[in-house]
Amino acid sequence: MDWTPTASQTVGPYLHLGLTDSRSNSRVAGTGAKGEQVWLTFRVVDGDGVPVPDAMIELWQADSEGKYEHQRGGAEGASFGGFGRLATAEDGSCTFETVRPGCVPGPAETVQAPHINVSILGRGILKRLSTRLYFAGEPANATDPVLALAPERRRSTLLAQPDPARSGHWIFEVRLRGEGETVFFDV
């Protein structure tokens, strides 16, 4: 028997087993959390724009005051967890409920714009993809040191757009490759 992987072999779909079936968390921040309540709809597509129905999205974010869970000292109890995990549906989407994060300290005495750290895992993705979600129209985006690392012409791939049909809802498309590919960070 030959155990050498071939190009036709891929990873997954294993994420739904133990990671999303019983450990999904769509509520990063509940209604009792301080700050502006928002709903973030992610849509994961491949290079041809076809939805990816078996990806997994993980979020990690600061609260509305710019503090991560480990910095908060138990403030707000269970209403803010700072972490979310969901599988994408057949249309490649999933939606999280949270609060808009505050600015956080950056490298060398800088301040980072409100953002959410995003990991994408899925079939054929051998190493998680890391990116960030920034909010379109946020004035602090202009001076964010991490956003500035992305080529200017590609920064728009890191911006969630407000949903014109629903107040408080934002849409963020993750394109895995090809034209308009989302900027991914090597972390």
Residues 6+ away with beta carbon under 8 Å from 34: 63, 64, 65, 76, 80, 99
Percent of the chain at pLDDT above 90?
Answer: 70
CA 180 to CA 171: how far, in whole Å? 15
pLDDT at 148: 96
Higher pLDDT, 136 or 1: 136
Question: Are the CB atoms for 177 and 48 separated by under 8 Å?
Answer: no
Q: What is the pLDDT of residues 2-34, one digit of tens each?
A: 555 544 445 555 555 556 666 688 899 988 899
Band of pLDDT at residue 107, cut at 50, 70 and 90: confident
pLDDT at 25: 87
Band of pLDDT at residue 60, cut at 50, 70 and 90: very high
Query: Long-range contacts: 156-164, Cβ < 8 Å, 24+?
Result: 157/181, 157/182, 157/183, 158/131, 158/132, 158/133, 158/134, 158/182, 158/183, 159/133, 159/134, 159/135, 160/40, 160/133, 160/134, 160/135, 160/136, 161/136, 162/136, 162/137, 163/41
Q: What is the pLDDT of residues 112-128, one digit of tens each?
A: 999 999 999 988 787 89
Question: Are the CB atoms for 172 and 61 separated by under 8 Å?
Answer: no
Higher pLDDT, 48 or 9: 48
Phi-psi region at 182: left, alpha or beta (left = phi > 0; alpha = psi -120 to 50): beta
CA 117 to CA 130: how far, in whole Å? 7
pLDDT at 24: 82
Q: How many CB atoms lie within 10 A of CB 81?
A: 19
For the chain, first and last CA: distance in Å?
Answer: 37
CA 163 to CA 176: how far, in whole Å? 22
Domain boundaries, the chain: 16-175
Looking at domain 16-175, its CATH architecture is Sandwich (2.60)
